[in-house]
Amino acid sequence: MKAFEIFISGYAKLPCGTTAEELYKVIAVGILVDKNTGQILDADCTLVTRVAKEQVNRLLTGKNIMKFEEIEEAFNDRYFGSAKKALISSTKKCHEKFKALIEQGVMAD
């Protein structure tokens, strides 16, 4: 990990009856962020299928964590899996953590 990279994770409850919910109960979204720009460099989540995980990675990588509305719009336009609401919620928690780190001065070098 490079000095400008930070890892942030967010969690949310999954909808009942999904395979992921049966395995994990909650979803985790983890993102690697450039602390200087807010750009998401990489992303992963605890969904079960490879295709779903790859789609989440594509939807998040390259976006700016400070522009949550754009991230939410991307999910609403391009992700139609059962865990959409939980993914948006856990990603929003990542956004809120990043904002809190800035406010606390943690991002200063």
CATH number for the domain harbouring residue 60: 3.90.1010.10
pTM above 0.75, yes or no: yes
Q: Tell me the two tokens of residue 103.
A: 């406010």
If we measure between CA atoms, which residue out of 103, 105, 93, 24 comes closest to residue 65?
Answer: 93
pLDDT at residue 106, as a whole number:
79
13: containing domain: 5-103
Tell me whether residue 109 is in a domain: no
If we measure between CA atoms, which residue out of 87, 52, 82, 49 comes closest to residue 71?
Answer: 87
State how many domains the chain has.
Answer: 1
Tell me whether residue 108 is in a domain: no
The model's pLDDT over 17-71, given as tens digits with 9 standing for 90+, comes to 777 667 778 889 999 999 999 999 999 999 889 999 999 999 999 999 999 999 9
pLDDT at residue 105 greater than cutoff 90: no
In the numeric block, the tokens 């009942």 are attached to 16
pLDDT at residue 54, as a whole number:
98
The model's pLDDT over 88-104, given as tens digits with 9 standing for 90+, comes to 999 999 999 999 999 99
Q: Tell me the two tokens of residue 20.
A: 């992921």
